[in-house]
Amino acid sequence: MKIFYKKDGGIVQLIDKEKMKEWSIELPLIFIEYIRNNQLKSYNDPKLKKEIEKYLDEVLTDVAIPGLIEVLDGDNVEEVNKALVRIEELAKKNIEMVKPIKPYVEKLVKKNNKEVKNLSNSIIDKFKKAERKKKLAEKRKIMQEKEKLFLAGNLSGEEYAKARKEYLILKE
């Protein structure tokens, strides 16, 4: 068991990630979600929560994702489908969690199986949306800065209009 120490002298024990390598592919993800949604809030210790979050991320990158990649790279359509359904569910909740799988999902779009193709496309769409959202957030930050400069008279009307146009195009 992996041991985490609480501020009050108590401890939290979580199953070692090595043991999870023998699990079926969807289980490590179910475990991560379960601990995040049900247990984390009960620990009442921000430092401990952070350490456990870090451990769950390790479980994701060292166990869950490699397990999924192995399946996605294989020829078992049923298993690939099962894995894609789980990835799609996860992508809806937190796209960053499944980012390392993106190249493997992109390869699956070219497959002949309709279900595999549809699920892969749906996941790729989510990646695209997430990327756009990220870019928009960055641009919004720049735009706010430019607005301040323009109002202070430190930016020409032409330059401000150009930046505004770029931002609106991305937003649409």
Partner 1 sequence: MSSKTESKKWNMEAAKKLFQEYLKKSIEEKKKEVKLPENTVQIDNLNRQQTLERIYKLTDSLIDMIYENGRPSIKLPSRASANIIWDEENDLLLLGQQIMEKQFHSLGSVADMTRLMKVLEKVNELLIKDMHATKREIFYSSVQLFGDQKNSDKCIEDVATMLYTTRNSTHIVASAKGSCIGRLRIRDRNDIIDLEGLGSGGWTISPMLDNIEILESDAEFILVLEKDAAMIRLSEARFWRKYPCIILTAKGAADIATRMFLKRISKELQLPVFTLVDSDPYGHYIHSVYLRGSKRLSYESPFLATPDIKLLGVLTRDLEKYKIPNDCTIPMNQTDIKRTKEMLNEDFVKKNKAWETDLKLALKLKVKAEIQALSTFGFEFLTDQYIPEKLSTGDWI
Residue 111 and residue 107: Cα distance in Å, rounded? 8
Q: CA nearest 96: which of 154, 56, 67?
A: 56
Region near partner 1 per CB under 8 A, out of 26-34, 92-100, 127-135, 136-144: 26-34
Other beta carbons within 10 Å of 51: 16
- What ranges in 35-171 are assigned the alpha helix state H? 46-59, 65-73, 77-93, 102-108, 114-151, 157-171
Q: CA nearest 127: which of 149, 154, 103?
A: 103
3-class DSSP state of 11: strand
11 contributes a contact to partner 1 by CB under 8 A: yes
CB of 158 vs partner 1, minimal distance in Å = 60
171 contributes a contact to partner 1 by CB under 8 A: no
CB of 90 vs partner 1, minimal distance in Å = 16
3-class DSSP state of 105: helix
Choosing from 7, 18, 24, 140, the residue that interacts with partner 1 (CB under 8 A) is 24
Among residues 52 and 108, whose Cβ is nearest to partner 1? Answer: 52
String of contacts with partner 1 for each residue 129-158, x by CB under 8 A: ------------------------------
Choosing from 7, 18, 34, 132, the residue that interacts with partner 1 (CB under 8 A) is 34
Residue 52 and residue 63: Cα distance in Å, rounded? 16
Q: Which two tokens stand for residue 9?
A: 């002298």
19 contributes a contact to partner 1 by CB under 8 A: yes
| Interacting residues with partner 1 between 39 and 58 (CB under 8 A) | 39, 43
Contacts to partner 1 by CB under 8 A: 1, 3, 6, 9-15, 19, 24, 26-27, 30-31, 34-35, 38-39, 43
